[in-house]
Amino acid sequence: MLDLRKGIAALALSVAVLAGPAAMAQGTLRIGMTAADIPLTTGQPDQGGEGLRFIGYTVYDALINWDLTQGDGPSGLVPGLATAWEADEADRTRWTFTLREGVTFHDGSPFNAENVVWNLDKLLDESAEQYDPRQSAQGKSRIPAIASYRAVDDLTVEIITHEPDATLPYQLAWVMMSSKANWEALGKDWEQVAAKPSGTGPWMMESFVPRERAELVPFADYWDETRIPKLDRLVLIPLPESNARSAALMSGQVDWIEAPAPDTIPAMQGNGFAITQNALPHNWTWHLSRVEGSPWNDIRVRKAANLAIDREAMGALLGGLMIPAKGFVPPESQWFGEPDFDVTYDLEAAQALMTEAGFGPDNRLKVKALISPSGSGQMLPLPMNEYIQQSLAQAWIDVEFMVVEWNQMINLWRAGAADPSVEGSQSINFTYFIQDPFTGFIRHLDCDLMAPNGTNWGHYCDEDMQGLFEEIKTTFDPAEQDAVLRRTHEKFVDDALFLMVTHDVAPRAMSPKVQGFVQPQNWYLNFSSITMAE
């Protein structure tokens, strides 16, 4: 297949490029997604981050949105359907959200507090008429802090959390608000809503052919006038096969593709197609087992492994489309801090640490790692893991792989390192979304979330780390919370808690006609600024 891609790349060099953009038109933007189907359209989309990117934050809004307008620094939270929110100083579990006035859904019905409660019931209350297991499956686990909620008045919502938890705003950024009136008008049937969804977002879904395409048009009455789309139409096309995506772009059938195959990129660039990339809050790591008997319990071994990988050289394998890891979050992250341990390539230091730990060329350490041949966010897992295998061998660490299909690996990830199903594996190659404090940090290492009760795969539990997590949850000032997160990340790095390898850069290829696109350092995108040149 590699040769075929090279064939595409070589032949594509002869593709004639249209003349450069002359004038701007409103136009239609056609996007080739990597998903095999249009993400669930009813509100809380499936298909992971791509679902939220193309259907979630286009057709819908959350109470709190991400700032997707700039790409120069990490994106933070901004007011969405709520203009303000605060936790009660006397009772930190009590939050008050002030809702935006004058917002309407695409169907014309008003957005208000009743809608917020209705949407939370949609995900959390199994006895509610509008409870939707499919949306709940996507949304419920994103808002674990919520204990109860109520409408105080038309534009005020109160949410009570189980315990003080300052990460609630990040959690709520996952929850999309769909229209109660639309659901009622369509016979209270979510299947009907799927075909005619209604949110408050900048784009309205005009038509939808399962597995083939969705067409979105601007919502002229969008509440944020600066984000009313400039395009006439946005077309989403599922194109799960990477060569099919590349061919579709190069033959002019789409204007933009997600995740081009790395070896087609030079040909695309040579023919004027733009390749965009930016730091993505996403890492590619080995999550290490800390159960009794795991060799990774020795910090010298963990640090040695981190020092044994030449990440710059690995970049060549990925066509340069990666950011070498210096920690668990990218170096540009607001939460990176100033760790003492320099995650770099230093084989001599790695061997010295291994010697100190009692290993050497004649007494090699054997470790077993769970890997998958593919999977969402896994980048190119087989060649990347083989590269790591060779790198670690130089530090006298011999890696045996247990290769399982991606869905099966998710099951084994949920089961945890102590479960018999992982067959003694002491590491799992899993890529992580690191955009918010809970998903990025807490869920991996919290003592209370040890698998299978949570997603702390390695069964790590540390008093100091637990204290930091508690501090994150109880620090309600965003700037102060960032400072705690920096200290937390410093501990992640200084204790070498993961094998930190690389960060994705979310490459996408697009026609030179696409103008005005800004790639934020975020999983989600803003399509409203885009125009098409004639």
Partner 1 sequence: MLSYFLRRLILVLPVAFGVSVVCFALVQIAPGDPLTAIMPVDATAEQQAAMRAAYGLDKPVPVQYLIWVGNLLQGEMGRSIASGRPVAAEVFGAVGNSLLLAAAAAVIAFPIGIFLGFLAGYFRDTALDRAVTALSITGVSVPNYWLGIVLVIIFSVNLGWLPSMGAGPGGSQDWQWDWAHMRHLVLPAVTLAVVPIGIVARTVRALAGDILSMDFVTALYAKGLSRGDVLRHVARNAAATALSVMGLQLGYLLGGSILIETVFNWPGSGFLLSNAIFQRDLPLLQGTILVLAMFFVGMNLIVDVAQAAIDPRVKRS
Considering the complex, what minimum distance in angstroms separates the CB of residue 243 from partner 1?
6
Q: Coil, strand or helix: which one is 256?
A: strand
Report the distance separating Cα 39 and Cα 55, nearest Å: 7
- Among residues 30 and 503, whose Cβ is nearest to partner 1? 30
Helix segments in 271-417, DSSP class H: 299-307, 311-317, 347-356, 381-393, 406-415
- Among residues 413 and 469, whose Cβ is nearest to partner 1? 413
- Among residues 241 and 480, whose Cβ is nearest to partner 1? 241
DSSP track, 146-161: EEEEEEEETTEEEEEE
Considering the complex, what minimum distance in angstroms separates the CB of residue 4 from partner 1?
6
User: How distant, in Å, are the alpha carbons of 152, 153, 177 from that of 114?
Assistant: 9, 9, 11
- Among residues 39 and 337, whose Cβ is nearest to partner 1? 39
Considering the complex, what minimum distance in angstroms separates the CB of residue 407 from partner 1?
4
Looking at residue 195, its amino acid is: A
Report the distance separating Cα 482 and Cα 387, nearest Å: 35
Considering the complex, what minimum distance in angstroms separates the CB of residue 207 from partner 1?
7
Secondary structure of 34-99 as H, E, C letters: CCCCCCCCCCCCCCHHHHHHHHHHHHCCCCEEECCCCCCCECCEEECCEEEEEECCCCCCEEEEEE
Q: Which residue has the tokens 């696409």?
A: 514
- Among residues 28 and 69, whose Cβ is nearest to partner 1? 28
Considering the complex, what minimum distance in angstroms separates the CB of residue 114 from partner 1?
26
- Among residues 192 and 344, whose Cβ is nearest to partner 1? 192
Q: Coil, strand or helix: which one is 185?
A: helix
Considering the complex, what minimum distance in angstroms separates the CB of residue 12 from partner 1?
6
Strands across the sheet with 365-371, in order?
Answer: 323-324, 498-503, 282-288, 427-433, 365-371, 397-403
Taking Cα atoms as reference points, which of 507, 503, 509, 495 lies closest to residue 458? 495
User: How distant, in Å, are the alpha carbons of 53, 280, 341, 432, 520 from that of 523?
Assistant: 7, 7, 28, 12, 8
Considering the complex, what minimum distance in angstroms separates the CB of residue 184 from partner 1?
19
Helix segments in 372-523, DSSP class H: 381-393, 406-415, 437, 443-445, 463-474, 478-494
- Among residues 14 and 226, whose Cβ is nearest to partner 1? 14
- Among residues 214 and 291, whose Cβ is nearest to partner 1? 214
Taking Cα atoms as reference points, which of 447, 425, 393, 185 lies closest to residue 288? 425
Considering the complex, what minimum distance in angstroms separates the CB of residue 175 from partner 1?
13
Q: Which residues contribute to the site for partner 1 (CB under 8 A)? A: 4, 7-8, 11-12, 14-15, 30, 36-37, 40, 46, 126, 133-134, 136-138, 140-142, 190-191, 194, 207, 209-213, 215, 235, 237, 239-241, 243-244, 247-248, 250-253, 404-405, 407-408, 410-411, 413-414, 443, 452-455
- Among residues 124 and 309, whose Cβ is nearest to partner 1? 124
Report CA torsion sign: 285, 290, 296, 297.
Answer: positive
- Among residues 12 and 509, whose Cβ is nearest to partner 1? 12
Considering the complex, what minimum distance in angstroms separates the CB of residue 8 from partner 1?
6
Instruction: Name the pairing type of β-strands 427-433 and 233-238.
Output: unpaired
- Among residues 132 and 490, whose Cβ is nearest to partner 1? 132
Instruction: Please enumerate in sequence order all residues whose Cβ is within 8 A of that of 357, keeping only pairs 6 or more positions apart, or say none.
Output: 298, 300, 301, 304
Which residues on adjacent β-strands are paired with residue 148? 160
- Among residues 248 and 533, whose Cβ is nearest to partner 1? 248
Task: Report how far apart the first and last C-alpha atoms of the chain are (Å, whole number).
Answer: 35
Considering the complex, what minimum distance in angstroms separates the CB of residue 138 from partner 1?
6
Instruction: Please report, for the chain, how many H helices and E strands are present, in that order.
Output: 19, 22
Q: Which residue has the tokens 């970049």?
A: 315
Q: State the burial class of residue 316 (Cβ atoms within 10 Å of its Cβ: 0-12, 13-18, 19+).
A: exposed
Considering the complex, what minimum distance in angstroms separates the CB of residue 25 from partner 1?
16
